[in-house]
Amino acid sequence: MFWERFHALCTEAGKTPNAVAKELGLSSATTSQWKRRGSSPSAKTLAKLSAYFGVSADDLIGGKSGPLVTHEKGTKIGVLSSVGAGIPLEAVDVFDQDDPDAWEEITSDLARGGEFFALRIKGDSMLPRIRRGDVVIVRKQETVEEGECAIVLVNGNEGVCKRIHYRDDGIALLSNNEEYPPLVFTKQQIRDMPVRIVGKVEEIRGKP
């Protein structure tokens, strides 16, 4: 049942279901429906939860534990150590196929849904779900929905992995790790610095 799996993932992350819902832009009434009526989230909400917890939609609905793992033969994409204004994302297409740390494989179905790159996480701002050394699979796109996890370039510096919260006066980049305060930018700063979304995190792949 979805609620039991969702509640277990929240507990593992050290957060309450309502706290996670708030971070993703959902109401407490929504989580109450999941609990009391045994209902499941919409496809759109399920995608947000999958990205947040780093598990597949099937894992959430079916109750299977563990990170999202792709078993079928698919498309190889290069793993970047960083993303920055001076680093063309097209460079991700060139990598050493004999080095297993240089690439990740995604399903053919996923690959048909857009252009992708993989990024190795450096810091701990997205703990507990995304750890230093983990790899995120990112779809290249310039916009994401409220609460979704994205790779963002700020002022031409290296890209950061953050959850997106839209404000009336701008945008806030949120960390999962509460030790890191939100990065808040006005609409003027977004234009002038600039602050630019370069992709949406579709999968989180834990690494030893």
* Per annotation, catalytic residue among 48, 56, 162, 200: 162
Rg over CA atoms, the chain: 17
Dihedral angle, C-alpha 40, 46, 48, 51, nearest 10 °: 120
Examine the residue annotation and report whether 125 is marked as an active-site residue of this protein.
yes
Cα gap 203→63, rounded to integer Å: 18
**CA geometry: angle 73, 76, 77, nearest 5 deg:** 150
Task: Determine contact, residues 130/150, Cβ cutoff 8 Å.
Answer: no
Task: Determine contact, residues 88/115, Cβ cutoff 8 Å.
Answer: no
Q: Which of 53, 138, 29, 27 is nearest to 92 (CA)?
A: 138
DSSP strands (E only) in the chain: 75-80, 103-106, 116-120, 135-140, 149-154, 160-167, 170-174, 183-186, 195-205
Region at 191 (left for phi over 0; alpha for psi -120 to 50; beta for the rest): alpha
* Per annotation, catalytic residue among 48, 50, 56, 125: 125
Q: How many CB atoms lie under 10 A from the CB of residue 94? A: 8
Residues tagged active-site: 125, 162
